[in-house]
Amino acid sequence: MAQDNAACNHASGVTDNKGGGGGGVDTNKNAGAAAKTVEEVKPHAVQEQLPGVQYCIRSPPPWREAVLLGFQHYLLSLGVTVLIPTILVPQMGGGFAEKARVFQTLLFVSGISTLLQSLFGTRLPIVLVGSHTYIIPITSIIQARRYNSETDSYERFIQTMRAIQGALIITACFQMAVGFFGFWRNAVRFLSPLSVVPYITFTGLSLYRFGFPMVTTCVEIGLPTLVIFVFISQYLNRYIGIKKPIYERYSVLFTVTIAWLFALFLTSCTVYNHQSESTQNNCRTDRAGLITAAPWVYFPGFFQWGAPTFHAGEALAMIAASLVSFFEYTGTCYAAARYGSATPVPPSVIGRGAGWVGVSALLSGVFGSITGCTASVENAGLLALTKAGSRRVVQISSGFMIFFSIFGKLGAFFASVPMPIIAALYCVLFGYVSSGGLGFLQFCNLNNFRTKFVLGLSFFLGLSIPQYFTEYYHVKQHHGIPIWLNDAVTVIFMSHTTVAALVAFVLDVTLSREDDAARKDIGLQWWERFSLYSADVKNDEFYSLPCRLDKLFPPS
């Protein structure tokens, strides 16, 4: 471990830049006594790369440790992978069998997408999972009259799934064009540390509804899980006195095991037999319906639900959702780079990764996995908790995802963890991602009123505007507006991340770049070192493609 730590510290290239406001030498002179110099008080040093990371991107842990860490990432990916089919499949007319097949397909596509992203995309330790951003346009497809007129529920499920596949395929073409042709790269190039702060912060904060509100759907399981998770990850190592951070690093495994056994005990004791249907679905360990419905071995095939159908309005609404997923993906990438002790991600690498997100959407459309993919925020938070930002760990996690998607019964067993348990983990992990965004404040001048204005307005509108559109969505009346246009506007402005990032971006570009002093206040002079791939030698260390593919696809 000492060698790995040394490798991480060497790779990080930590600099000790002195910040402002550091206080001078304080001397107290007494009559007839020599002057005594009090130790100089300095602010915390600015760190270009996060110190304390024990396994950075290029320093993999030992294999046994890497497998356990990879399994933790796999467990976390199950949360949204189960949640999305649970929400959408019953609305489409599908039963437990269809839900199990969609779950396995989504897990399979997520595993392949994660592997491709780690090899040819950004090469960051990020996990790609199904995106909840697509739920609004998918719900509109489900509620379309041409599908609701079908009386047979299974046939309605098939027709709806084909329409979703068609919309995803068109969306994938759009995403690949935006990513590979450099449009997203050119947009990201205008970011600065000041605009990145609300961007990353709201990437974590925007998911608050999947945290404590979901914990309270089964308080007797969710709340103890949250307490246990915090205790194991932050306190247990101190009390036991172990030098190695075993409990902190594997706190997800310990917590899920304890909470799952407790939930299984309550279920077997018939505690929930006379409770409401909602309580039983959230608390019991046998209500997901995946274990009985999932086949032992299942390999998703191309167009398993039939030939996709295409509708322009449905595709346009899905494209709007894909833009939101790009915002969330980019914010997660910056957080993962920070927690992997890498340099800030160059725009060309972000654009390259965005193109591979489009490839993931294409796989979703071809295999029929009900939604597109984006970077998992909770898995980025796990990098901070474990202090292990190794790329190999995530690649092992993708292997678990592919394996358990094919061997359905085994995958369904782990997917039967009650959602309040996963939500309790989210409360901590989403917070880590949010704090990763706040860490970029060290590169900005917080004593500048223009900086305060950009931060304050972007934070406030990032909370306020989505709240209005959320209320509007639940009581919406189209008044002659096409459904696809209504969905496109709603899905964009309901996203806290998108609104906060856009407001900060516009204010930053128009207010904070007048002269060198203003550029220094927002950290742009430091940030420009990483705006071009070739501007910093460490970029090649973290983000270069394998097998010398950089010569065929040179980054800019």
What secondary structure does DSSP assign to 167-223, as a single string?
HHHHHHHHHHHHHHTTHHHHHHTT--HHHHHHHHHHHHHTTGGGSHHHHGGGHHHHH
pLDDT of 276 strictly over 50: yes
**Dihedral of CA 241/427/439/344: which sign?**
positive
Q: Quick check: 401 and 379 in contact, CB under 8 A?
A: no
CB atoms within 10 A of CB 499: 25
Q: Quick one: pLDDT at residue 285?
A: 82
pLDDT of 324 strictly over 90: yes
Between CA 554 and CA 451 the distance in angstroms is: 36
CB atoms within 10 A of CB 143: 12
Between CA 390 and CA 72 the distance in angstroms is: 13
Mean predicted confidence (pLDDT) in 232-248: 85
Q: Any idea which residue has 């649970």 for tokens? A: 86
Q: Quick one: pLDDT at residue 280?
A: 83
Q: Any idea which residue has 């204010």 for tokens? A: 507
Give the CB-side neighbour count of residue 405, counting CA atoms within 13 A.
28
Between CA 436 and CA 44 the distance in angstroms is: 16
Place 491 in a pLDDT band, splitting at 50, 70 and 90.
very high
Tell me the per-residue pLDDT of 394-413, one tens digit each, with 9 for 90 and over. 999 999 999 999 998 898 88
User: Residue 16 in 3-state DSSP?
Assistant: coil
The packing angle between helices 251-268 and 63-92, to 10°, is 50
Count of residues for the chain?
556
Between CA 4 and CA 392 the distance in angstroms is: 14
The alpha-helical segments, DSSP class H, found in 308-346 are 312-339
Select the more confidently predicted residue: 114 or 9: 114
Mean predicted confidence (pLDDT) in 249-255: 94
Place 538 in a pLDDT band, splitting at 50, 70 and 90.
confident
* DSSP state at residue 37: E
Place 45 in a pLDDT band, splitting at 50, 70 and 90.
confident
Q: Quick check: 373 and 113 in contact, CB under 8 A?
A: yes
Q: Quick one: pLDDT at residue 77?
A: 93
Q: Quick one: pLDDT at residue 35?
A: 45
Place 292 in a pLDDT band, splitting at 50, 70 and 90.
confident
pTM of the predicted structure, to 2 decimals? 0.89
Of 78, 147, 77, 55, the closest CA to residue 393 belongs to: 55
Q: Quick check: 433 and 90 in contact, CB under 8 A?
A: no
Least confident span in 51-55, 376-380, 470-474, 501-505:
470-474
CB atoms within 10 A of CB 478: 10
What CA–CA distances, in Å, run from 471 to 214, 476, 490, 503? 19, 8, 10, 21
Mean pLDDT computed over every residue of the chain: 87
Q: Any idea which residue has 């060309």 for tokens? A: 348
pLDDT above 70 covers what percent of the chain?
90
* DSSP state at residue 235: I
* 451 token code pair: 């900086």
Query: Across the chain, how many H-helices and E-strands are there?
Result: 27, 4
Select the more confidently predicted residue: 395 or 524: 395
Place 478 in a pLDDT band, splitting at 50, 70 and 90.
low
Q: How far is CA 238 from the centre of its chain?
A: 30
* 305 token code pair: 């639900």
* 147 token code pair: 């599908």
Rg (CA), the chain: 24
pLDDT above 90 covers what percent of the chain?
58
Place 430 in a pLDDT band, splitting at 50, 70 and 90.
very high
CA angle 29, 33, 38 (to 5 degrees): 50
CB atoms within 10 A of CB 268: 11
Tell me the per-residue pLDDT of 78-124, one tens digit each, with 9 for 90 and over. 999 999 999 999 999 888 899 999 999 999 999 999 999 999 999 99
Of 128, 187, 120, 527, the closest CA to residue 343 belongs to: 527
Between CA 143 and CA 137 the distance in angstroms is: 10
Q: Quick one: pLDDT at residue 204?
A: 93
Looking at mean pLDDT, say which of 135-139, 141-145, 283-287 comes out highest: 135-139
The pair phi, psi for residue 273, each rounded to 5°, is -60, -35
Q: Quick check: 386 and 72 in contact, CB under 8 A?
A: yes
Select the more confidently predicted residue: 334 or 43: 334
Tell me the per-residue pLDDT of 148-165, one tens digit each, with 9 for 90 and over. 777 888 999 999 999 999
pLDDT of 49 strictly over 90: no
Between CA 278 and CA 269 the distance in angstroms is: 18
Of 299, 434, 424, the closest CA to residue 377 belongs to: 434
Of 328, 305, 314, 290, the closest CA to residue 131 belongs to: 328
* 464 token code pair: 């306020």
Select the more confidently predicted residue: 484 or 178: 178
Tell me the per-residue pLDDT of 169-222, one tens digit each, with 9 for 90 and over. 999 999 999 999 999 999 999 999 999 999 999 999 999 999 999 999 999 999
Place 359 in a pLDDT band, splitting at 50, 70 and 90.
very high
The pair phi, psi for residue 29, each rounded to 5°, is -105, 120
Q: Quick check: 397 and 390 in contact, CB under 8 A?
A: no
Least confident span in 22-31, 339-348, 528-537:
22-31
Q: Quick one: pLDDT at residue 476?
A: 62
Of 304, 349, 341, the closest CA to residue 106 belongs to: 304
